[in-house]
Structure 1
Amino acid sequence: MVFPSKKDWWLGIVIWGAALLLIIPPILFPNFGVWMTPAFLDKQWIKVILLGSTGVILLWIWFRTNYTVKEKTLQITYGPFKKKVNIDDIRSIRQTKDPFTAPALSIDRIEINYASFKIISISPKDKQTLIQHLLQQNPNIEIK
C-alpha cells in the first residue's frame, strides 16, 4: 500500500522557489552573475545543465515522495532516492516535529527507530493507517 507524503505549504514555497531560481535564470538571463561565476562555469550550457538538473531533482522530490508497505518492507521514495527498511527491524515509532533533514515534506512526522540505533523520520498523510499496516506485520513495534 502506498502512502503519499504530507506537504507543508511553507516547504512547498521553499522547494518551488529554489527550483525555479535554479532553472529559470540560467536560461532567461545568460549573463546573470557572470562576475561571480567560477571559471569552469564559463559555458552557458554547463550552467543550464548543473543548475537545471538540481532544480529538476527538487521538483522530483516534491512530486515523488511516498512510503510503500509491502512484503515485510517499508520502502521510502523521495525523488530519485530510495531507502528500504525491514519491518521486522522496526523497534519503535513516535510522533515528532523534528525540523532536520528527512525524506519528509512536512514537519508533522513520525520517527521510526530500527535496526541498531538507526532512525528515519517520514511524514505520511495518513499516519495512523501506515502505523496500523506496520503493526500488522510486526506487532512488537512499540508506539511511543
Structure 2
Amino acid sequence: MNTSVPVRVYQSGISPGLVLFLMVVLGGAALPMALQQTWPALLSVLAAAGFIAHVLMTTRYTITGDSLHIKSGVLYSTTLPISSIRRVAETHNLLSSPAASFDRLEIAYNRYDSVVISPREKAAFIAHLRTLNPAIEVVYQAK
C-alpha cells in the first residue's frame, strides 16, 4: 500500500430505530426458544443476531486516493472510482444497501448505477468527495 496516499475512513451511522426493531424481532424469537429450552433453534437466532451486529459494526466507507471503497460485513464490498460519481443526494430509501442508518445518501455513478450508503459524518464525506471530483452534483441539506 502506498503510504503517501491519504486514507480516510467514514463509519456508517447506525439508526437506533433499526437496532430497536432488530432487538424486538430477534428477542421475540429467542425468548420462547430459551423458555422451551430449544437450544439448537436459540443458537440459530443468536448466530443471526451476531451476524447482523457484525454487519452493522463493520459497515464503512473508505476514501483512498481516487477511489471509494464500500464495505459492509463479509458479504458486500465494492470500489468506485471517484471520477465516476455523478451525484450525491439525500435519501430515506429503505431498500437493502450497505447502510446501517435510515439517514442515507444515494451515490449515482457511471451512467445508470447507484448505491445507498449512510456515513455518520455526511457533510464531511460529501466535502471530501467534492475535493476529489468537483463536478459531483450534491443534493443535501446539512443539518
Q: Which residue of 1 aligns with 2:10?
A: 3
Provide TM-score, normalisation by structure 1: 0.75
Aligned residues: 131
Mapped to 1, the partners of 2:35 and 2:63 lie a distance apart of 43
Q: Which residue of 2 aligns with 1:54?
A: 48
1:105 aligned counterpart, secondary structure: coil
Q: Which residue of 1 aligns with 2:65?
A: 71
User: Pairwise mapping of residues 73-92 of structure 1 onto structure 2 (< 5 A)?
Assistant: 73-80=67-74, 81-92=76-87
Residue 13 of structure 2 aligns with an amino acid whose one-letter code is K
Mapped to 2, the partners of 1:20 and 1:29 lie a distance apart of 14
User: Pairwise mapping of residues 53-132 of structure 1 onto structure 2 (< 5 A)?
Assistant: 53-80=47-74, 81-132=76-127
Pick aligned residue for 1:133 from 118, 121, 128: 128
RMSD between aligned residues: 2.3
Runs of 5+ unmatched residues, structure 1? 32-43
Q: Flag the 1:3–1:30 CA change in 2: closer, same or farther, 3 A.
A: same
Q: Flag the 1:98–1:22 CA change in 2: closer, same or farther, 3 A.
A: same
Provide TM-score, normalisation by structure 2: 0.76
The structure with the largest alpha-carbon Rg is 1
Q: Flag the 1:16–1:75 CA change in 2: closer, same or farther, 3 A.
A: farther
Cα deviation digits, residues 73-113 of structure 1 (max 9, x gap): 11112222322222111111111121222211222111100
